[in-house]
């Protein structure tokens, strides 16, 4: 079956199977920043934006994206690079495997939450797993990035 989507501001027609998940389709079409981790919607590595809202692409059927806007980290490259550099400068970077999904979540959070508290940030990030860290450095950096005092 075919679906029509806009990916990173480019109109596309994708051939999909009726039971295929969006992460599989995006990777097949070359969007390799969409990582595969758990395939159960538990780790956040596959986070993309569907109509500007973060979703777990490994648990979203591709057919649900028909007619929608999809954004991968390539679609917000400049902002993602700035945030990644911010993490490095704050000493909060890790191995990088979870970074695309994590960054997509943080950028969505920055757009959605105005004047968040630490608890808001922690709640929003629930489900983004990093196997390298205890999140203390990342949380500190995100709070600074979000200008939480």
Q: Shortest CA distance to 110 belongs to which of 132, 79, 72, 88?
A: 79
CA dist 118 and 72 (Å) reads 26
Of 1-15, 82-96, 115-129, give the range with the top mean pLDDT: 1-15
Q: Whole-model pTM above 0.85?
A: yes
What does the DSSP 8-state code read for residue 86?
Answer: H
CA distances from 38 to 33, 105, 123 (A): 15, 17, 20
The predicted structure's pLDDT at residue 146: 87
- SS3 assignment, position 40: coil
Per-residue pLDDT of 31-86, as tens digits, reads 999 998 887 888 899 999 999 999 999 999 999 999 999 999 999 999 999 999 99
| φ, ψ of residue 79 in degrees (nearest 5) | -65, -40
Task: Look up tokens 């968040």; give the residue.
Answer: 116
Convert the pLDDT of each residue in 87-110 to its tens digit. 888 888 777 777 889 999 999 999
Q: How many CB atoms lie within 10 A of CB 62?
A: 25
Position of tokens 């902002």? 79
Asked if 31 and 101 count as a contact pair (C-beta separation under 8 A), the reply is: no
- pLDDT interval class at 126 (50, 70, 90): confident
pLDDT at 149: 44
* pLDDT at site 31: 96
């Amino acid at each position: 079956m075919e679906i029509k989507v806009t990916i990173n501001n480019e109109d596309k027609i994708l051939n999909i199977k009726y039971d295929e998940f969006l992460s599989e389709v995006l990777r097949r079409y070359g969007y390799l920043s969409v990582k595969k981790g758990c395939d159960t919607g538990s780790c956040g590595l596959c986070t993309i934006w569907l109509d500007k809202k973060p979703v777990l692409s490994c648990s979203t059927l591709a057919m649900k994206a028909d007619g929608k806007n999809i954004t991968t980290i390539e679609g917000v490259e400049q902002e993602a690079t700035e945030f990644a550099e911010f993490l490095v400068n704050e000493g909060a970077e890790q191995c990088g495997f979870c970074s695309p999904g994590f960054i997509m979540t943080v950028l969505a959070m920055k757009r959605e939450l105005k004047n968040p508290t630490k608890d808001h940030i922690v709640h929003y990030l629930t489900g983004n797993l990093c196997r390298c860290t205890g999140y203390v450095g990342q949380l500190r950096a995100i709070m600074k990035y979000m200008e939480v005092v």
